[in-house]
Amino acid sequence: MRSVIRLAATTCLVLSIHLGRAQDAPADTSEAAMEAAYQLFADSIEASYTYQTGSIPIADGVATVNIPSGFKYLDAEQSKQVLVEVWGNPPGAADGVMGMIFQENAGVFDDTYTFVLEYDPMGYVSDEDADDIDYNELLTELQNDSRAANEERRAAGYEGLELVGWAAPPYYDKERKVLHWAKELHADSAEVNTLNYNVRVLGRKGVLILNAVGSMEQLESVKAGIPSVLNMASFNEGYTYGEFDSNVDEVAAWTVGGLVAGKVLAKAGILAIILKNIKLVVIALGAAGAAAFKFFGGKKKTEDNPTPPQA
């Protein structure tokens, strides 16, 4: 799947280069030439980003991320550009994004996991139900919901997305007020299953959200990095969970169980993962210009789906 995507991307990229050349200039469309063109293009995009490490304030002073050795951070503006313009997600998928956390030696084009960081000022999330949740029962309910949603997705022209099960069962650290779990997902045409790893840090006025984007093949790698990730995001003094004041602070409509059930699931978590798998095609089509897009994308859309449904 990845090789097919890369080949399609590099083909379009090479085409874009040759569109601007004289008609009598021979075009080198060999696999090696396309691979070289792709690498040159990817390197130029990657070089435009400025990553950070160390202590970084986020959410207007509400919280801080501390990026240790082995990881690097991309700020909100650059992260939104990656999600929308590079990975091809609709603009709404980047709403509220505070930044992205990458492995130190990885970039936006590498086939590895990435954590997308958000802050949701939903209010104080009660953890009183944390010890009483039957996560196996919750999984069954979520699987039933996903089957019902798939009928609507397919009817609208989108791929179905099956919730296979827990890739890592939900765990709530009551002392640290951190909740994390992972889901294994399967898209209809995917060769490998998708990994959605979720981390939630509870605070006085809201929740810090970290969603990992990757494939099930990267599960062990993500698990290895989770201890470091859990220590990265924290609330500043005045906004910690223990400073909740019932007289002035709002209580969220969601409990710990509600967070696992999926308050942010439909926006960034699932959509970003699916569209990340086709990011190279999206980029290359954009680079190829209007003529290439009409040939490779517009023609197929007209034949297969004259009136594409809106997301």
Q: What is the pLDDT along the chain (311 residues), one digit of tens a residue?
A: 333 344 444 445 544 554 445 455 565 667 787 778 777 888 888 999 999 999 999 999 999 999 999 999 999 999 999 888 888 777 777 888 999 999 999 988 887 889 999 999 999 999 998 989 999 999 998 898 888 888 887 887 777 888 999 999 999 999 999 999 999 988 888 888 888 899 999 999 999 999 987 888 889 989 998 999 999 999 999 999 999 999 999 999 888 988 988 643 444 344 444 445 443 333 333 333 333 333 333 333 444 444 433 33
311 falls within a domain: no
pLDDT at residue number 244: 97
> Are both 15 and 101 inside the same structural domain?
no
Note down the domain range covering 199.
54-277
Residues 259 and 288 placed together within one structural domain of the fold: no
> 33: how many CB neighbours lie within 10 A of its CB?
14
> Looking at the structure, do residues 264 and 148 belong to the same domain, yes or no?
yes
**Residue 197 located in a structural domain:** yes
Asked if 29 and 85 sit in the same domain, the reply is no
Residues 27 and 138 in one domain: no
Let me know the angle formed at the C-alpha of 60 by 54 and 64, rounded to the nearest 5 degrees: 30
Q: Is residue 243 in a domain?
A: yes
Token pair listed for 222: 């993500």
Tracing tokens 């990095």 back to the chain, one arrives at: 225
Tell me what pLDDT residue 156 has.
Answer: 77
In this structure, the answer to whether residues 39 and 109 fall within a common structural domain is: no
Q: How far apart are CA 206 and CA 183, in angstroms?
A: 23
In a domain, 310, yes or no: no
* Shared-domain flag, residues 93 and 233: yes
| Beta strands 178-187; 54-58: pairing state | unpaired
The answer to whether residues 251 and 139 belong to one domain is yes
Residue 309 placed within a domain: no
Domain match, 132 and 174 both: yes
Q: Indicate whether 144 and 235 sit together in one domain.
A: yes
131 and 198 belong to one structural domain: yes
Alpha-carbon distance 4 to 2, whole Å?
5
Q: Is residue 201 part of a domain?
A: yes
Note whether 122 and 136 are within 8 A (CB): no
Check whether residue 39 and residue 58 sit in a common domain: no
Angle at 212 between CA 286 and CA 185, to 5 degrees: 85
Strand ranges across the sheet with 97-103:
71-75, 97-103, 114-120, 207-215, 194-202, 178-187, 161-173
Q: Look at residue 116 and tell me if it is in a domain.
A: yes
The two three-digit tokens of residue 151, written as one number: 């009928």
Tell me if the pTM is above 0.85.
no
Nearest alpha-carbon partner for 193 in 274, 86, 104: 274
Check if the beta carbon of residue 204 is closer than 8 Å to that of residue 184.
Answer: no
- The total number of structural domains that make up the chain: 2
* 125 within domain boundaries: yes
